[in-house]
């Protein structure tokens, strides 16, 4: 499988990373080098093997569904690049 | 007294309790050593005032008889751990001036036990790298230099990565120990490159809460120190269950230090034949043989074992780790914290922010991760890699079921290399550094790198021991046996020091 410039642009957009026209070719080569490296996995027989989802034989811990924390609006907004009162400010999303 | 930066963590602890040394003296000596080591670029943020203040408080607690297990001991903290009120960067531009309003659980555990923080240590950006060359704050220089026929080579050597600042600072005696993290080898490979000890504990042993996430199913915290005993002391404080990380395990934390020097007689050590790679350097092969001989001399039984899926671990890792990274790093969107670049609309703002904030290696991994998780490729890449991960874990499970107590391998395929020497044209060349360490993360096992010798050009080489889940104690016993048998590797003379303490 080989990544062409159209796929590079599509992945970049899905990743929300702007890519300049001058970067597309080099990025494609780098991504192809990585994909060539992982290519050998296609030859491994994985029939009947379950995908590993946890390295530990443990059940997901659960706790009661109650509020245990909160009230830190100032802390949460402390590092925001742009804020107004207790809100994050972003460019207009809906016209 | 002589230079207190030359003490081990254990010696410094004992000197403080015996009151032959004060925490303030100890902190001051380290602050001065750091001031004169600007050339190494091991620290992103230095906190000398906080350190001296904390040391004074430690001295007061020691005099009141209230010393914690790490009371007054100066440590460095990898800049991937969130530290309350101290800028945390992950060595990325995208976090900008992010200053956490909370403390990571592991660093809070260290502070609870009395440790003194000297500052935040450099690393590869978001812990993605094996040479510390991807840091947005510049590369870390190893205190080690290559030796040739005519003395030291002028080339700057990498300390390994991603915990390169941690390893370099410990090797250069800028701190008694340091925190680090390991996703595919990021504790053990830099420890190996700098002649220090690094342990990645079992997945779940330490809380991941408050540590900037890279690949959540692989990430674990651990220490880098100058001796095996020091690593045992630090890990005991770092480990433990935490309600804020549901993957942290509720099992008692043993007194790891008690395992140092314990007999290894009759322990079964597996030597996996699949790690004898084609083209393995004769120097590394000889070191491995030497390690086998040392453990045999200490009374251990050596058995050859087979871990047949070893060769698939690294490619599978380079699907799983980027996939998880692409998801974890989605949070850096210029809204809640960090850098923001202006855009025409919100998508343009995201795209410009992330293009400017992420370095080349991070962009590459996020894009690969996005690709392998995208519609049509998910089963072919991601699910297949997770199945192979099951096979890798099964290999180890079988070896342990057959009575093997630990596995001995080389830590790295080569000694440290010079800056710019690897990975500039092909990213995969750099990835191959982790070939011996990555299986351990894939299977969630504990692994320790212990210095074992020097290469022909005078750089440190290390062995790796891999243990059963939650059997770090056996690793400490075996590693201390190797440490006892191996020639002593003295940290290098401080050639990096400038005379007047000013930054170069």
The string of DSSP letters for B72-124 reads T-EEEEETTB-BTTB---TT-GGGTT---SS--HHHHHHHHTT-EEEEEE--S
3 state DSSP class of B257? helix
**For chain A, how far is it from start to end, CA to CA, in angstroms?**
40
DSSP string, B387-435: HHHHHHHHHHHHHHHTT--EEEEES-SS---BTTSSSSS-HHHHHGGGT
- To the nearest whole Å, the CA of B230 is away from the closest chain A CA by 27
Query: A44 and B443 in contact by Cβ < 8 A?
Result: no
CB B238 within 8 A of CB B106: yes
Determine the Cα–Cα distance for residues A2 and B497; give it in Å rounded to an integer.
50
Least CA distance to A23: which residue of chain B?
B360
The nearest alpha carbon in chain A to B392 belongs to A52
Torsion of CA B70, B73, B76, B78, to 10 degrees: 0
Pairing of strands B301-305, B268-272: parallel
Is residue B135 annotated as part of the catalytic site, yes or no?
no
Catalytic annotation present for B186: yes
What pLDDT was estimated at residue B502?
46
Alpha carbon distance, N-terminus to C-terminus of chain B: 29
Q: Is B162 a catalytic residue?
A: yes
Which residue from B344, B354, B468, B350 is spatially nearest to B402, judged by alpha carbons? B468
Beta bridge partners of B178: B76, B224
Please answer yes or no on whether A17 and B358 come within 8 Å at the CB atom: yes
Cβ contacts below 8 Å, chain A against chain B, sum to 158
Contact check, Cβ <8 Å, B333/A16: yes
Residue A54 forms contact with B (CB below 8 Å): yes
The answer to whether B115 and B238 have CB atoms below 8 angstroms apart is no
Catalytic residue among B58, B162, B237, B480: B162
pLDDT value of residue A41: 96
Q: B-chain residues within 8 Å CB-CB of A60?
A: 246
Catalytic-labelled residue, pool B46, B78, B120, B422: B78
Residue boundaries of the structural domains of chain A: 5-43
Considering only the beta carbons, identify the residue of B246, B318, B345 that sits closest to A34: B318
Q: Which residues contact B130 (CB under 8 A, 6 or more apart)?
A: B124, B160, B161, B162, B185, B186, B189, B430, B431, B433, B434
**pTM metric for this prediction:** 0.97
Angstrom CA distances, B223 to B170, B178, B422, B449, stand at 10, 6, 26, 11
Mean pLDDT by 10 residues, chain A (95 residues): 90 97 94 94 96 87 90 96 96 84
A43 in contact with B, Cβ within 8 Å: no
Residues 6 or more apart in contact with residue B482 via CB below 8 angstroms: B291, B294, B295, B450, B452, B463, B465
Contact in structure between B8 and B229 (CB atoms under 8 Å): yes
* Three-state secondary-structure class, residue B265: coil
Neighbouring CB atoms inside 10 A of A92's CB total 7
Residue B16 phi/psi, 5° resolution?
Answer: -65, -40
ipTM (interface pTM): 0.95
Q: B139: helix, coil or strand?
A: coil
Distance from the A47 Cα atom to the nearest Cα atom in chain B, whole angstroms = 9
Quote the CA–CA distance of A41 and B442 in Å, as a whole number.
15
Tell me which chain B residues have a C-beta less than 8 angstroms from the C-beta of A14.
370, 374
Answer whether A23 touches B (CB < 8 Å).
no
Select from B147, B17, B485, B425 the least CA-distant residue to B293.
B485
Measured from the Cβ of residue B495, the count of other Cβ atoms closer than 10 Å reads 10
Chain B residues touching A53 at Cβ < 8 A: 386
pLDDT (tens, 9 = 90+) of chain B, 504 residues, equals 589 999 999 999 999 999 999 999 999 999 999 999 999 999 999 999 999 999 999 999 999 999 999 999 999 999 999 999 999 999 999 999 999 999 999 999 999 999 999 999 999 999 999 999 999 999 999 999 999 889 999 999 999 999 999 999 999 999 999 999 999 999 999 999 999 999 999 999 999 999 999 999 999 999 999 999 999 999 999 999 999 999 999 999 999 999 999 999 999 999 999 999 888 889 999 999 999 999 999 999 999 999 999 999 999 999 999 999 999 999 999 999 999 999 999 999 999 999 999 999 999 999 999 999 998 999 999 999 999 999 999 999 999 999 999 999 999 999 999 999 998 878 888 888 899 999 999 999 999 999 999 999 999 999 999 999 999 999 999 999 999 999 999 889 999 997 554 444
CA-based nearest residue in chain B for residue A13: B351
Q: Which of 77-116 (B) contact A at CB < 8 A? A: 96-99, 101-102
* CA distance readout (Å), B381 to A4, A40, B268, B368, B428: 18, 11, 37, 11, 17
**pLDDT of B504:** 42
Which pLDDT belongs to residue B359?
98
Apex B420 CA angle, A5 and B361, nearest 5: 40
Is the Cβ pair A76, B336 closer than 8 Å? yes
Residue B60 forms contact with A (CB below 8 Å): no
Q: Which residue's structure tokens are 């899905």?
A: A14
Structure tokens at B1: 């007294």
- Residue of B102, B371, B428 with shortest CB distance to A33: B428
Q: Select from A33, A55, A58 the Cβ nearest to the Cβ of B393.
A: A55
The torsion angles phi and psi of B452, rounded to 5 degrees, stand at -135, -10
Burial B90-126 (b: 16+ CB within 10 A, else e): bbbbbbbebbbeebbbbbbbbbebbbbbbbbbbbbbb
> Phi-psi category of B423—alpha, beta or left, where left has phi over 0 and alpha has psi -120 to 50?
left
User: CA nearest B354 in A: which residue?
Assistant: A17
Report which secondary-structure segment, H or E, holds B152: strand B151-152
Q: How far apart are CA A25 and CA B83, in angstroms?
A: 40
- Name the burial class of residue B50, with classes exposed (0-12), middle (13-18) and buried (19+) by CB atoms within 10 angstroms of its CB: middle
Residue B98: which of A15, A76, A79 has the nearest Cβ? A79
- CA B289/CA B284 separation, integer angstroms: 9
B248: alpha, beta or left? (left if phi > 0; alpha if psi -120 to 50): beta
Contact: A56, B444; criterion CB under 8 Å: yes
Query: What are the structure tokens assigned to A28, written together?
Result: 């494609």
């Amino acid at each position: 499988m080989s990544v062409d410039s159209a796929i590079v642009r599509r992945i970049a957009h899905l990743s929300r990373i702007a890519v300049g026209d001058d970067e597309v070719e080099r990025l494609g080569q780098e991504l192809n080098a990585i994909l060539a490296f992982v290519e050998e996995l296609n030859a491994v027989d994985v029939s009947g093997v379950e995908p590993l989802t946890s390295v530990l034989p443990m059940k997901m811990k659960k706790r009661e569904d109650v509020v245990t924390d909160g009230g830190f609006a100032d802390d949460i907004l402390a590092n925001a690049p742009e804020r107004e009162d207790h809100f994050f400010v972003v460019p207009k999303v809906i016209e | 007294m002589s230079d207190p930066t030359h003490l081990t963590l254990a010696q410094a602890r004992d000197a403080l309790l015996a009151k032959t040394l004060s925490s303030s003296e100890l902190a001051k000596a380290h602050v001065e050593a750091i001031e004169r080591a600007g050339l190494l670029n091991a620290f992103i943020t230095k906190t000398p005032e906080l350190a001296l203040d904390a040391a004074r408080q430690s001295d007061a607690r020691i005099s009141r008889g209230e010393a914690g297990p790490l009371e007054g001991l100066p440590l460095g903290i990898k800049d991937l751990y969130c530290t309350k009120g101290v800028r945390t960067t992950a060595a990325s531009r995208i976090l900008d001036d992010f200053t956490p309003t909370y403390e990571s659980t592991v660093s809070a555990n260290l502070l609870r036990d009395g440790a003194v923080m000297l500052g935040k240590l450099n690393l590869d950006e978001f812990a993605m790298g094996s040479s510390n060359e991807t840091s947005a704050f510049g590369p870390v220089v190893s205190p080690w230099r290559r030796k040739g026929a005519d003395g030291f080579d002028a080339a700057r050597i990498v300390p390994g990565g991603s915990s390169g600042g941690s390893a370099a600072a410990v090797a250069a005696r800028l701190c008694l120990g340091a925190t680090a993290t390991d996703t595919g080898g990021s504790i053990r490979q830099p420890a190996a490159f700098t002649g220090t000890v690094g342990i990645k504990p079992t997945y779940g042993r330490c809380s991941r809460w408050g540590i900037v996430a890279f690949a959540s199913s692989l990430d674990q915290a651990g220490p880098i120190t100058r001796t095996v005993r020091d690593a045992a002391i630090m890990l005991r404080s770092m480990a433990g269950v935490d309600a804020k990380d549901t993957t942290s395990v509720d099992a008692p934390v043993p007194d790891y230090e008690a395992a140092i020097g314990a007999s290894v007689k009759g322990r079964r050590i597996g030597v996996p034949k699949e790690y004898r790679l084609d083209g393995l350097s004769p120097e590394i092969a000889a070191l491995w043989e030497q390690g086998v001989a040392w453990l045999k001399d200490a009374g251990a039984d050596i058995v050859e074992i087979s871990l047949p899926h070893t060769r698939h671990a690294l490619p599978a890792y380079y699907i799983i780790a980027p996939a998880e990274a692409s998801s974890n790093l989605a949070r850096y969107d210029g809204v809640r914290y960090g850098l923001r670049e202006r855009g025409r609309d919100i998508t343009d703002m995201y795209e410009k922010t992330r293009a400017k904030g992420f370095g080349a290696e991070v962009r590459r991994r996020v894009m690969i991760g996005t690709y392998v998780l995208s519609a049509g490729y998910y089963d072919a890449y991601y699910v297949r890699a997770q199945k192979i991960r099951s096979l890798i874990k099964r290999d180890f499970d079988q070896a342990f079921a057959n009575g093997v107590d630990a596995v001995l391998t080389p830590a790295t395929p080569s000694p440290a290399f010079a800056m710019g020497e690897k990975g500039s044209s092909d990213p995969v060349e750099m990835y191959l550094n982790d070939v011996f360490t990555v299986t351990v993360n894939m299977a969630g096992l504990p692994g320790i790198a212990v210095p074992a010798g020097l290469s022909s050009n005078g750089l440190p080489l290390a062995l790796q021991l891999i243990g059963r889940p939650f059997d770090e104690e056996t690793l400490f016993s075996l590693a201390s046996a190797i440490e006892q048998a191996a020639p002593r590797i003295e940290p290098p003379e401080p050639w990096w020091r400038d005379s007047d303490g000013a930054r170069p």
